[in-house]
Structure 1
Amino acid sequence: MPEWIIVILRSLILILFLFSLIKWLGTKQLAQLNIFETIAGIVLGGIAAVHTMDPETNFFYAILAMFIWFIIPFVIEKLSLKSKRTRDFTEGKATIFIQDGKIMEENLKKEGYSTDELLEKLRDKNIFLASDVEFAVLEPTGTLNVLPKKENRPLTAKDLGLTIAPDKEPQTIIMDGNMMLEPLANASLNPDWLRTELEKQDVALENVFLGQVDDQGQLYLDLYDDHLSVAEPSQSALLLATIKKCQADFEIFALATDNQNSKAVYQTCSKNMNQVQSILEPYLK
C-alpha cells in the first residue's frame, strides 16, 4: 500500500479516536483546562502527529499511548469531584488579591503579579480606582473576580424595594422558516397558537428567519426580508391598560349612581381591580 494512503488512513483513525477521547472527557475540558489537562492535550496531539506522519512507527503503540494519556486525566477528574484535596492539587487554589479594601502584596508576589498587572485586570472590570474594590480574588483559571464596595455597585430592584417578575428562558419556536415543536411545547404553546399569531401580523411561516417567544407569551419575529417590519408585541401593555380602564370605570359608576348599595358594590369592585393591578403590574411591564 502506498505511504500516502497509509498517512491518510492513520490521520482519519487518529482524528476520530482523539475526538472520541475529548468528547468522553466532557465539554468542561474544552472551555477550561487546568495545568494537568493542558499537558495531556499537548501530548495527545503530539502523539497523533508523530504517528500520522511516520508510517514506519507501530500504530498500536500510538493508540496505546493516547489511551494512557487519556485515562490518567479522566481518573484524576473523577477523583477531583470527590476530593477537595485532589482538586486543589490539580486545579490550584484561588488567591485573594484584595480583602476588606486592602491589597495583599504578599499574594501578588506569590502569583507573580505586578501592581501594573493588577490595575490592568481591574480596568478590565471597569474599575479604575483600587480603593473602590472591597474584595478581589484570582481564580485558578487566571480570571480575576472583583466585588466593588457597596456604594460603588449599580442599584438593583432589591435596593429600591421593587418587585420584579421572575424571568424564564425564551424559547426559539421558529428557525430558518421551520416551526420548532419541542420549544413550542416547552413554552406551553401549540402550533395553532403560532399560526394565529402569524396571521395577526400577516406573516407567512416560511418568511420568518427567527421567531422567539418570551415567558409572557409575546412573539418576536425577524424576517428574511429586512425591508419589512413587524409590529412590536403589545399584549402585556394592552392587558395592563384594560385593567386600569376597568378600575376607572368602576370609580365612575360609583360616582354616577345614587343607590348606596350599587355605590358600595362599584367601590368594592374598584378596590379589587386596584389590588389586581398592583399584583400583575410587575409582570406586565
Structure 2
Amino acid sequence: MSLWLEIILRTLSSVVVLFLVTKLLGKRQISQLSLFEYITGITIGNIAGYISLDTDTEWYLGFVAIGTWTIVSVGIEFWTLKSRWVRGIADGQGTVLIKNGSILETNLFKERITLDELLEQLRKKSVFKVAEVEFAVMEKSGEINLLLKKENQPLTPAMLGWKMSKETEPQTVMMDGEVLQEPLRSTGKDEQWLRHELAKLKVKPESVFLAQIDDQGQLDVQTGSQDGSLAPAKQTARQQLLQTLQQCESDFEQFGRFARSEEEREALLSCSRQLKQVIRQAQPELK
C-alpha cells in the first residue's frame, strides 16, 4: 500500500475513533472541563496525530493507548460521582472572591486573578460597582457567579407578594415547512386548526420556517425573511370570548371521546352540542 493511502486510512480511522470516544466521554463545553478532562483531551488528540502520521511504528498501538485513556477517564468520572473527596481532587473546588461585600485579596492571588480581570467579569454580569456585590465565587469551570446585596437585587413578583400563574414553554409545531405532530397534539390543537390559522395569516405551510404556540394558544410564525414574526392581530374582548367558547366546546367533545363510561360520555357530548348551539347563535355578535 502506498504511503499517502495509508495515511488517509489512518486519519479516517482516527476521526471515527475520536468521534466515538468524544460521545462516550460526554458533551461538556471546553469551559466546563475539569483539569483531568482537559489533559485527557490533549493526550488523546496527540495520540490520534501519532496514529495518522507515524508510519515507522505499529499504528494500532495508538488505538490501544486511546482505549486505555478512555477507560481511565470514564472510570474517574464515575468515581467522582460516588466520592466527594475524589471529586474535589479531580474537578477542584470553587473559590470565594468577594464575601460580605469585601474583596478577598488572598484568594485573588491564589487564583492568579488581577483586579482588572475581576472587574471585567463583574461587568459581564452587568455589575459596575463592587460595593453592590454581597458574594462572588469562582466556579470550578473558571466562571464567576455573584449574589447582589438585597437592596440591589431586581424587583420580582415574589418580593411584592404576587402570585403568578404558571407558564409553560412554547411548543414548536412547525419547522422547515413540516408539521410536528407530537408537540401540536400536546397543545390541544390539531393540524386543521393550524392550517386555518396559517390561512388567516396568508402564509403557505411550505413557506413556514418556524411556528410556535405559546401557553395562551397564540400562534407565532417565522418565515425566515425580513418580514419578522407573523402573529394574528390582537383580539378584542368579544373575539377572545368566542375563542374561549370554541375551545371549551372542543374540549368537551375531546373529553367525551375518552370518557370511562357511557353515561359520562353522553353527558360531555351533550354539553359540547349545547355549547356549539350557543356559539352558533352568539357568533354574529362576537365577531
Q: TM-score range by the shorter chain?
A: 0.7 to 0.9
Q: Report the residue type matching 1:65 in the other structure.
A: A
Q: Which residue in 2 is equivalent to 1:100?
A: 100
The residue type equivalent to 1:77 in the other structure is E
Counterpart residue number, 1:188:
188
Q: Write out aligned runs for 1:157-196 (5 A).
A: 157-196=157-196
**Structure 2 runs not aligned, ≥5 long:** 243-287
Per the alignment, do residues 75 and 91 of structure 1 end up closer, same or farther by CA in structure 2, a change over 3 Å counting?
Answer: same
SS in 1 for 2:90: helix
Distance verdict in 2 for CA 1:236–1:135, change over 3 Å: farther
Cα distance in 2 for partners of 1:116, 1:24 equals: 39
**Pairwise CA RMSD:** 2.4
TM-score by length of 2: 0.77
Alpha-carbon offset, residue 4 of structure 1: 0.9
Report the CA distance between 1:232 and its aligned residue. Answer: 3.6
Change (3 A) 1:101 1:237: farther
* 8 Å contact from structure 2 (residues 93, 140) kept in 1: yes
Cα distance in 2, alignment partners of residues 238 and 119 from structure 1: 54
State the alpha-carbon separation in 2 of the partners of residues 106 and 227 from structure 1: 55
Q: Secondary structure at the match of 1:164?
A: coil
CA 56–229 in structure 1, closer or farther in 2 if over 3 Å, else same: closer
Quote the residue 2:116 is aligned against. Answer: 116
User: What's the TM-score once normalised by structure 1's chain length?
Assistant: 0.78
Q: Which residue type is aligned with residue 37 of structure 2? A: E
Q: Which amino acid aligns with 1:19?
A: F
Q: Which residue of 2 aligns with 1:25?
A: 25
Counterpart of 1:156 in structure 2 is 156
Deviations 1:133-187 (A, max 9, x none): 1010110111110111111111111122333222212111111111112221333
How big is the shift at 1:58?
A: 1.0
Question: Residues 31 and 142 of structure 2 are in contact (CA less than 8 Å); yes or no, is this contact kept in structure 1?
Answer: no
* Residue 54 of structure 1: aligned partner: 54
Partner residue, 2:256: none
Q: Offset of 1:102 from its aligned partner?
A: 1.9
| Contact 1:170/1:213 (8 A) holds in 2 | yes
Structure 1: 5+ residue stretches without partners = 243-285
Deviates more, 1:101-110 or 1:34-43: 101-110
How many residue pairs match? The answer is: 243
Assess, with a 3 A threshold, how the Cα gap between structure 1 residues 227 and 240 changes in structure 2: closer, same or farther. Answer: closer
Residues of 2 paired with 1:57 and 1:237: CA distance? 79
Residues 231-269 of structure 1 deviation map (CA, whole Å, 9 limit, x = unaligned): 446459667678xxxxxxxxxxxxxxxxxxxxxxxxxxx
Q: How far is 1:115 from its partner?
A: 2.4
Identity %: 42
CA-CA distance at 1:40 after TM superposition: 0.7
Amino acid corresponding to residue 189 of structure 2 in structure 1: L
Residues 133/30 of structure 1: CA separation in 2 closer, same or farther (3 Å cut):
closer
Evaluate the alpha carbon distance shift between residue 231 and residue 131 of structure 1 in structure 2; reply closer, same or farther with a 3 A threshold.
Answer: closer
- Matched with 1:274 is none
1:156 partner SS: coil
